[in-house]
Amino acid sequence: MAVLDVLRMGHPLLRQRARKVSDSEIHSPEMKKLIEDMVDTMHAHDGVGLAAPQVGASIRMAIIELDPENDRYTYGGETRLGVYFNPEIEVLDETPQSFWEGCLSVPGLRGRVTRPRQVRVHYTNLEGERCVLEAEDFLATVFQHEFDHLDGVLYVDRLEDTHQLTYLDEFHQFWLGDEADVEV
């Protein structure tokens, strides 16, 4: 087990478009180790997701793990760790929705970001199979945030109103309502 360093905003690698992962790489021991270390890293920081570029691997892969205690983050009641290779997002419902977002690469801040309400995700799983899933509401935001990392995009790029960018203490003091506070 290893907790990796998480790159912070300002590191050029976070701004690169990550490359695709090949089928042989998916099954490699190096990939297995990277995923295990990313899970350890995500848990160490209490995140719900982590993209490979955040730990310095510029490849199109991200992990997302949702809290079984919180209905907002489960996949229809079922909770699991998801590993997503070469994901592509298709917007199913463009209705804008906004949530507070945090990011392990932008520590100490929260910002309110507007994104489409419902998406379909096409991706390759750990077995190398092409899969599809649909996500709406907050889960749709989590996928969009995570996969933005693979294109070198951070949530702060998507802020429409910088008045809704806040440090964590002030977030808890002035802004946090009944929403959960998560970092991805």
Question: What phi, psi does 27 have (nearest 5°)?
Answer: -90, 5
C-beta of 59 vs 184, nearer to Zn ion: 184
C-alpha to C-alpha distance for 76 and 159, rounded to whole angstroms: 29
C-beta of 35 vs 51, nearer to Zn ion: 51
Min. distance of Cβ 183 from Zn ion in angstroms?
Answer: 7
Query: Which listed residue (146, 160, 170, 183) is catalytic?
Result: 146
C-alpha to C-alpha distance for 147 and 150, rounded to whole angstroms: 5
Q: Which two tokens stand for residue 178?
A: 């009944």
C-alpha to C-alpha distance for 41 and 149, rounded to whole angstroms: 16
Min. distance of Cβ 144 from Zn ion in angstroms?
Answer: 11
- Binding mask 76-105 toward Zn ion (x if CB under 5 A, else -) reads ---------------------------x--
Residue 49: count of CB within 10 angstroms of its CB? 25
Min. distance of Cβ 24 from Zn ion in angstroms?
Answer: 28
Ranges within 100-119 binding Zn ion (CB under 5 A): 103
Is 146 known to be catalytic? Answer: yes
Helix (H, G, I), strand (E, B) or coil at 31: helix
Residues with catalytic function: 146
Binding residues (CB under 5 A) for Zn ion: these are 103, 184
